Each structure stands twice: as C-alpha cells, then as structure tokens.
Amino acid sequence: MIDREQLLAWPFEEVVQQYTARDAMLYALSLGFGDEPLDAVHLRHVLEDRLRVFPTMALVLAHPGPWTANPATGIDRKRVVHGEQSLVIHKPLPLSGTVRSRNRVVAVLDKGVDKGAAIRTERQLHDAVTGELLASIAGTTFCRGDGGFEARGGQSAAPAPAATPPRPERAPDAVASLPTRTQAALLYRLNGDYNPLHADPAAARAAGFERPISHGLLSFGLCARMIEESFPGWHLTAIDARFAKPMFPGETLVTELWRDGEDTLWFRALCKERNVEVLSNGRARLVRERE
C-alpha cells in the first residue's frame, strides 16, 4: 500500500547522461522523421550535417527510470499509466553533450479505492558542464490500483496545477494528421522506456489492454511535431497536455489546433480509427525561429 510520506521523501539519485548526435537522430526517427526522406524538415532532424535536436527529446534524457516498479513504493506497477505531462524549454538542446537531473515527488493524491492515486513529479534538466538550465519537466502518474491508502483521501502535499483555460468554442484553426507505424512502440522504447506494457502482449493483457499500447510520450512528441509542422517558422518552447486514452501502434493521430494570439495555442489529439480523444487540455507556446 502507498505511504504518502515515504513517496514524498523518495531518495532519487541524480541522473547524469551523455548523449550524442546519433541518439538525437534515433529519437527523431522514433517520431517518424525520415518517413519523407526527401523532405528538408525531416532531414534536418536525422542528418548530422544539419542536425537540430527536436525539443521533446528533453523528456527522455536523464530520466529517473521505472522507479514505481520498486516494491518499496507500494505501487502496483502493472496498473500504472502516464496521466499528464508538461515541458518548458529554456534553451535548445545541444547536438550532443552531458545532462543531469534529479526527480522529486511533489504531490500524492488519494482519489479513492475505485479511482486510484495520482503522483506528481518534477525535475529540471541541466547541462552537466555549464550548469545551464535546459528544460523544466513535470508529470503526473495515475496508479489505477492504489487508491484508498488514506482513510480521508483527497489530500495533497502540494497545490494542484492551475486549471487549463478552456479552448475556444470554434472550429480548429488547423488540423494535422499523422499515421503511426505498427512498430512505433518498439522503436520508441529504444529511447530508454522499456516498460513491457508497450512491447509484450502478455504484459499488456495483464494490464487490461488487448495488445501493447504506444508510449504516452510518443503521442506527446508526435503532437509537438505536428504543431511545429503546422506553423512553419515557429519553434516549440513549451507544451503540456493530459493523456486521455491510449493509442495503439499503427493508428493515425489527428491533432486539432486553436491559435490564441500570436505565440500560444490550444490543442487536442484524437485517434482517427476509433474516434477517441488521446490527448486533452493541450497547451503550447511557440517562438519565432531565428534567422
């Protein structure tokens, strides 16, 4: 059973990771860059002589790993799903380098026996050599089998994130569609997330899914890619969203975008084949590309 105070004091170690241009290209390939091998935008993310590291790669660098799988947490790992994610880019990632971060639990919420628990974590990604802050990362994990650990429930050790303003009541300003590969999850896991839920049919069935599902961060990264491609000349500098439903590899992701002024937008993403919302409450901030 979950012990809130134990999780809030969880002894995360600092993670230091060296990455190369090859890692950046592998990450881009896992987001489908390169499917159009004559397209200049694709090649910019997969060829070393013009390489740009895609911003959401920050999410997979110096990651704390599957810490919820540690039996001492009291968490039922088989029923853990990614709930929410946010990313703020303070400085573009170098083409290669060494980064460091330390995860911390900032809130643990008991939603009740039937609803599970929510754990919010934060970490900051720094350049290990210069000390510069590269990205701020926060996320929420839903532990579907671990609610009811506290009789009163519903108490959090930190304020909940501010509610996302509602998106406009109008048709989207842009719609983007992107098919995914049937092997998408098998490729994306090479970025460091080896949760069998995304690869092993037996593990997926044990978690209540008919087959392995795509990583939430894969859908998140694909949305980020479609946002940038929908607004040429702009780069992503912040993005956050809630994971509403899982995607299955091979399905088509459709992203609807609403502009809010010049540099901010709302978005949501749907699975075309099943007509279900995959990412909701999406917000993103853009900055003009430097000449």
pTM of the model: 0.91
193 is catalytic: yes
Co-location of 167 and 284 in the same domain: yes
Co-location of 172 and 145 in the same domain: no
Between 69 and 282, whose confidence is greater? 282
Report whether pLDDT(74) > 70.
Answer: yes
Q: Which of 159, 177, 192 is the last residue of a domain?
A: 159
Co-location of 151 and 44 in the same domain: yes
Mean pLDDT, residues 101-109 taken together: 94
Co-location of 144 and 256 in the same domain: no
Co-location of 196 and 272 in the same domain: yes
Q: What is the CATH number of the domain that holds 56?
A: 3.10.129.10
Strands (E), 147-251: 174-179, 234-243
**In a 3-state reduction of DSSP, which class is residue 8?**
helix
**Segment 9-43, tens digit of pLDDT:** 999 999 999 999 999 999 999 999 999 999 999 99
Q: Are 260 and 266 in contact (CB under 8 A)?
A: yes
Co-location of 6 and 150 in the same domain: yes
Domain count, the chain: 2
Q: Which of 144, 159, 174 is the last residue of a domain?
A: 159
Co-location of 256 and 180 in the same domain: yes
Domain coverage including residue 215: 162-291
Predicted local confidence at residue 154, as pLDDT = 46
215 is catalytic: no
Q: Residue 278: how many CB atoms within 10 A of its CB?
A: 25
Co-location of 174 and 101 in the same domain: no
In the chain, how long is the greatest CA-to-CA distance?
A: 59
**Rounded-to-integer distance, Cα 99 and Cα 133, Å:** 10
CB half-sphere exposure, 217, CA atoms < 13 A: 29
Co-location of 99 and 208 in the same domain: no
Mean pLDDT score of the chain, rounded to an integer?
91
Report whether pLDDT(187) > 60.
Answer: yes
Co-location of 149 and 169 in the same domain: no
Pairing of strands 97-101, 174-179: unpaired
CB half-sphere exposure, 159, CA atoms < 13 A: 3
Co-location of 53 and 116 in the same domain: yes
Co-location of 60 and 191 in the same domain: no
Predicted local confidence at residue 198, as pLDDT = 94
Mean pLDDT, residues 90-105 taken together: 97
193, 235, 240, 263: the active-site residue: 193
146, 198, 215, 240: the active-site residue: 198
Q: Are 219 and 243 in contact (CB under 8 A)?
A: yes
Q: Which of 159, 175, 202 is the last residue of a domain?
A: 159
